[in-house]
Structure 1
């Protein structure tokens, strides 16, 4: 990624030596292994949602898109790592122009991933909010056509913004936009989740019929699942956004320069987010877990 090439840090030699930096070296093989595992996991999640008609609902459509967002990180990581390993071992001679184009494509995929992931987390939070507080009108509010429209708009906005971010990557305004978007989505999700968990118990008392109570329970389970997903996202992507914030606030500080030098560690955390998300889906959804087990068993049988 471009922030990794120079970290936007132009510290002087004196500053660099004024503080002993602890740099964690991460082998390329680890990047490749984690990337392949997360890629396979997210493909299985997408196939499971497509295969099981019981999962054909707006929430699972959004989760499917979240898996696609995670796949973008996995694919970009695998492609970049393979090229770097081939280049380092003298098996591939990368022309500077080709390397630049490859870097642009990878950066665009990662930018699309972060924008779409944050957008779909907000979308799922809004979907759960409607399910809990407007249960009787949910199917008229969140129709399949409306869900598809939202998905199309999110992907169009994500791809467009990622292209603009790559074109103007040298401008600090790009970093400001990313950090602002990150903080705004976190506040949006926090407000919705706080309202859901504070009032869900009171709201559930008004629904006494068995079927509606079951729907309420399912909706709250979905809200808890998305809370876990959001928490994992913050933990895994937080250091990366802190990196961006430090680029704006202290690009020449020796302390910040030490932080910049561990950028590969932040990338590993981002890949871990793509790897952990499918495990959360499977753990929290019995229907999805059952379908994933069938897919894995079927794949294993075909491989025999």
Structure 2
């Protein structure tokens, strides 16, 4: 986001400003250590992405995730720990959408001469958006792990699930995750010049992937044998529902890796080869990685709706109700 101020001053409307100001600072520091010859030794391809595309995708994603949250709040059948965690995952996606929409609107208004913002205000906006993005990353990964753990308990401790995962415990977990996400994000921004910040983010990303992979392997390898015990207690339908939830989570995690993977690869390369001309070519397309991140927050609600009939039904009611009110 640090580049936001530079873009505003140059009225560059063809390229969206780079998110994560602390990352941009880190890259700028490393660029000063590389020679101009290195930077020009390769014919790098840079994909230019218009601000209007960022704004459009951000608005669509924001509306989708708001509908998911409203649907879960409205439908009492969705008032369960798993859907509470999905609701929080939707809120995490909303943080990405809101930060993107706010920044892009500032850029467009300024570029068209409709807004004159003091640099000090831009600095504060930059920090706020950085915290929102970092909070989204940490909370999204945390809630993906939480949902995985919830599905694991549902499958292997089905008879004791309601005593283990109570509403009070679910709420406590949600509060802890959000407090940890916001606190760590603020610390990351305060100490963004330290390489340890990037190391922590990459380590957290890899740790959560390993955690989910271990749970998935255990779930899918042992669920078939465990289902016989569940059927003995006439809980076959619940077993099917639990495995369906696990499959939904697998899809969510797969989409998350595809959309956020290039960004985390960007972070790894910043540490491994910050002055390499090959890595610098990769860095030039950071805005493309941001588009993928926004697409993740746009795709997630579609996965919820496709995999959950109850949620899909409620979303249809909300959309139809909104349409008739609009008419």
Bucket of the pairwise TM-score, normalised by the shorter protein = over 0.9
Closer, same or farther: CA 268–4 of 1 in aligned 2, 3 Å: farther
Counterpart-to-counterpart distance in 1, 2:320 and 2:291 = 29
The answer to whether the Cα contact below 8 Å between 1:32 and 1:78 also exists between their aligned partners in 2 is: yes
Query: CA shift at 1:206, angstroms?
Result: 1.6
The answer to whether the Cα contact below 8 Å between 1:49 and 1:56 also exists between their aligned partners in 2 is: yes
Give the corresponding residue for 1:132. 155
Give the corresponding residue for 2:295. 272
1:152 matched to 2:175: yes
Give the corresponding residue for 1:290. 313
Counterpart-to-counterpart distance in 2, 1:266 and 1:29 = 16
What count of residue pairs does the alignment treat as equivalent? 304
- Which among 24, 27, 47 is matched to residue 7 of structure 1? 27
Give the corresponding residue for 1:116. 139
- Which among 63, 70, 75 is matched to residue 40 of structure 1? 63
Counterpart-to-counterpart distance in 2, 1:210 and 1:294 = 35
Counterpart-to-counterpart distance in 1, 2:65 and 2:41 = 44
Post-superposition CA distance 1:211-258 (Å, at most 9, x none):
411100000000000000000000000000001111111111111111
Structure ranking higher on relative contact order (CA contacts 8 Å, 6+ apart): 1
The answer to whether the Cα contact below 8 Å between 1:4 and 1:263 also exists between their aligned partners in 2 is: no
- Which among 270, 278, 281 is matched to residue 255 of structure 1? 278
Post-superposition CA distance 1:30-66 (Å, at most 9, x none):
0000000000000000000000000000000000000
Any gaps of 5 or more consecutive residues in structure 1?
Answer: none
Within-5 A mapping of 1:135-284: 135-209=158-232, 211-284=234-307
Query: CA shift at 1:103, angstroms?
Result: 0.8
Within-5 A mapping of 1:2-151: 2=21, 3-4=23-24, 7-8=27-28, 9-10=30-31, 11-151=34-174
Counterpart-to-counterpart distance in 1, 2:234 and 2:75 = 22
SS in 2 for 1:206: helix
The answer to whether the Cα contact below 8 Å between 1:66 and 1:116 also exists between their aligned partners in 2 is: yes
Give me the TM-score of the superposition, normalised by structure 2: 0.91
Any gaps of 5 or more consecutive residues in structure 2?
Answer: 1-19
Counterpart-to-counterpart distance in 2, 1:128 and 1:190 = 13
The answer to whether the Cα contact below 8 Å between 1:35 and 1:74 also exists between their aligned partners in 2 is: yes
The answer to whether the Cα contact below 8 Å between 1:70 and 1:113 also exists between their aligned partners in 2 is: yes
Per mean C-alpha deviation after superposition, the further-off stretch among 207-216 and 291-300 is 207-216
The answer to whether the Cα contact below 8 Å between 2:81 and 2:167 also exists between their aligned partners in 1 is: yes
Query: CA shift at 1:101, angstroms?
Result: 1.0
Counterpart-to-counterpart distance in 1, 2:115 and 2:195 = 34
SS in 2 for 1:7: helix
RMSD of equivalent CA atoms: 1.0
The answer to whether the Cα contact below 8 Å between 2:64 and 2:301 also exists between their aligned partners in 1 is: yes
